[in-house]
A = this chain, B = another copy of it.
Amino acid sequence: MTFSTRINEAITRTGSVTCVGLDPRKAQLPAPIRDAVSSDTPDAWAAAYTQFCCEIVDVVKEMVPCVKPQAAFFEQLGPAGMVSLGQVIRYAADAGLIVITDGKRNDIGSTATAYADAYLGSTASVAAAGGDPATASPWGGDALTVSPYLGRDSLEPFVEVCDQRAAGIFVLVKTSNPGGGYLQDLQCDGRTVYRSVADLVSELNAGRLDADGYGPIGAVVGATYPEQLVELRAAMPHSILLVPGFGAQGGAAKDVKAALDASGRGAVINSSRGIIFAHARKEFAGTFGDARWQDAVRAATAEMNEQLRA
């Protein structure tokens, strides 16, 4: 079973297209987690990040198809943070969630192969491909976000490992930030740069489609550019879309609907702060607050699922 089939089946099983972004930040951790940090050291904070993220996994594991740990926040703690990232990825994968590591990695040739080998393929994906779980990636996740700036030959090593381990990648096509258009919207021979990347993504999926017509090469398309989301859904009919920018960044449910196919699958919509720091949102602070932050996470996830089902 390929990555795209696994993610679409997880969407059907949970009735949700929500992806929970795991973006731990020291200052925003709920008080019970923050107060338990015994010393202001990377190891102590890393342990707090692990506990925080694993408790979120416990809350959401039956409610959503996937989680997306953001590597940057773990890397911010130094090597200790990367140990935490490894623990979080494995805990989430063991809980049955599909894990998309958000690292926006890439490099040339054999260095791209090293990143692919590092981050692509969980024991579950390798088993789903009929392989030996011992050949799963050392970090243990299913998929990775990847930057396209280095061109086609920098993506091909990832595609090869996707084939071997039933893994997936999400290529940055149109990002959700205000300045994303600086390069992405440039017009080159009548075609935007982001459209060139989208066409490359489609080419790479050719010959790799599952029974529903999806391939392992997904794409990141921000919720904050609804028109481009419509254009890119049509341009990449074979890609699972990973849609950031919902909630805190301003994307609305009506905007992201265009990312889904007729059966309500084919895309996952990410929310990070809106879910994991829900205890601080005014809708939930009064009811739950810091003390019952896990209940705030549950309520925010349920709310997002409802908004996206409507």
Contact = CB atoms under 8 A, between A and B. Distances in A.
A147 B104 contact: yes
A78 interface: yes
A138 B42 contact: yes
Contacts of A106: 104, 147
A179 interface: yes
B23 A111 contact: yes
Contact of A86 (B78, B86, B177, B200): B78
A133 B153 CA distance: 41
A214 to B, nearest CB: 24
Interface residues of A, number: 60
Interface in A165-186: 172, 175-184, 186
A75 interface: yes
A36 to B, nearest CB: 21
Given A86-B78, A138-B42, A73 B179 contact: no
Contact of A184 (B23, B119, B149): B149
Given A109-B177, A183-B196, A114 B149 contact: no
Chain copies in complex: 2
A87 B179 CA distance: 35
Chain B CB count within 10 A is highest, among A70, A81, A107, A196, for A107
Nearest to A150: B175
Contacts of A30: none
A262 interface: no
Contact of A180 (B86, B108, B180): B108
A154 B178 CA distance: 10
A35 interface: no
Given A148-B149, A149-B148, A196-B183, A78 B154 contact: no
Contacts of A23: 111
A79 B85 contact: yes
A151 B180 contact: yes
Contacts of A117: 76
A221 to B, nearest CB: 13
Contacts of A114: 25, 70, 72-73, 75-76
A212 interface: no
A39 to B, nearest CB: 15
A118 B148 CA distance: 23
10 contacts: A70-B114, A76-B114, A79-B139, A82-B82, A104-B107, A108-B175, A151-B180, A154-B177, A187-B189, A193-B193
